[in-house]
């Protein structure tokens, strides 16, 4: 009965505990060197709770999350249904859910119907590339190559080109790994 009353706007205090409904939800997906990270928070009238904490409460069978000071937040049912599968595909790290870069296609499918999730430029570009994908094409033999490539070798070259284009560091013109100084000597590793 408490969740229904709180959802309808009632203030519920029972046995020294105050129950709060969610007053907002924000989510964003950002990219790193070899990962994507989903950051999400539910606002319970000024107290913000991160997605991993909500999912942890759910895994214990609770539909509430402790907010502190004798208060509990009622976790929105629709939110849990929408993000439970997503959270199961990644792992919690620093208050967010982290995914491998090889999960970009799966993330695109799962986030396509989630307008509340903002994405960064790198993921937006990966999404565009994935959606425009029309197959692996065997390129012509590279200029200057001595010899003749067989069809299966050209097809393999096409796969390598495809995989290289979808490396996160290649999107947005950013390259991760080693950078070169003006003399062309290799220097320290770079980060985003």
SS3 labels along 5-46: HHHCCCCEEECCEEEECCCEEEEEEEECCCEEEEEEEEEECC
20, 113: one domain: yes
For 133-150, the pLDDT digits (tens) are 888 888 888 888 888 889
- What is the pLDDT at residue 139? 87
71, 124: one domain: yes
How many CB atoms within 10 Å of residue 190? Answer: 13
Boundaries of domain holding 26:
1-133
Q: Where does a domain end: 84, 99, 133?
A: 133
* Euclidean distance between CA atoms 105 and 183, whole angstroms: 39
Number of domains in the chain: 2
Whether residue 102 is predicted with pLDDT greater than 70 in this model: the reply is yes
Whether residue 59 is predicted with pLDDT greater than 60 in this model: the reply is yes
Q: Could you report how far apart the first and last alpha carbons of the chain are, in Å?
A: 49
Whether residue 45 is predicted with pLDDT greater than 60 in this model: the reply is yes
Residue 167: pLDDT band by 50, 70, 90 thresholds?
Answer: low
Cβ proximity of 36 and 103 under 8 Å: yes
Per-chain mean pLDDT for the chain: 78
- What is the pLDDT at residue 37? 92
158, 83: one domain: no
74, 166: one domain: no
Angle 101-131-176 from CA coordinates, rounded to 5°: 30
90, 166: one domain: no
How many CB atoms within 10 Å of residue 37? Answer: 18
Residue 105: pLDDT band by 50, 70, 90 thresholds?
Answer: confident
pTM of the model: 0.64
Residue 119: pLDDT band by 50, 70, 90 thresholds?
Answer: very high
124, 147: one domain: no
* Euclidean distance between CA atoms 165 and 167, whole angstroms: 6
> 77 or 70: whose pLDDT is higher?
70
Whether residue 132 is predicted with pLDDT greater than 70 in this model: the reply is yes
36, 91: one domain: yes
192, 116: one domain: no
Residue 130: pLDDT band by 50, 70, 90 thresholds?
Answer: confident
- What is the pLDDT at residue 181? 40
| Residue of 98, 129, 97, 131 lying closest to 112 (CA atoms) | 131
88, 150: one domain: no
Mean pLDDT in residue range 178-185: 41
85, 69: one domain: yes
């Amino acid at each position: 009965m408490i969740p229904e009353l709180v959802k309808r706007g009632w203030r519920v205090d029972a046995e020294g505990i105050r129950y709060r409904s969610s007053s907002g939800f924000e989510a964003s997906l950002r990219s790193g060197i070899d990962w994507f990270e989903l950051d999400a928070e539910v606002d319970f009238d000024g107290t913000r709770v991160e997605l991993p904490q909500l999912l942890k409460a759910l895994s214990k069978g609770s539909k509430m999350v402790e907010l502190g000071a004798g208060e509990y937040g009622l976790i929105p049912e629709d939110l849990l249904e929408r993000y439970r599968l997503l959270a199961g595909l990644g792992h919690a790290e620093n208050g967010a859910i982290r995914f491998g870069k090889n999960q970009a296609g799966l993330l695109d499918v799962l986030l396509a119907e989630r307008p509340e999730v903002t994405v960064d430029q790198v993921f937006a570009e990966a999404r565009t590339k994935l959606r425009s994908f029309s197959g692996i094409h065997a390129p012509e033999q590279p200029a200057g190559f001595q010899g003749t490539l067989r069809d299966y070798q050209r097809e393999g070259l096409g796969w390598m080109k495809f995989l290289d284009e979808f490396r996160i560091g290649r999107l947005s013109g950013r390259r991760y790994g080693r950078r070169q100084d003006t003399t062309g000597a290799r220097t320290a590793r770079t980060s985003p």
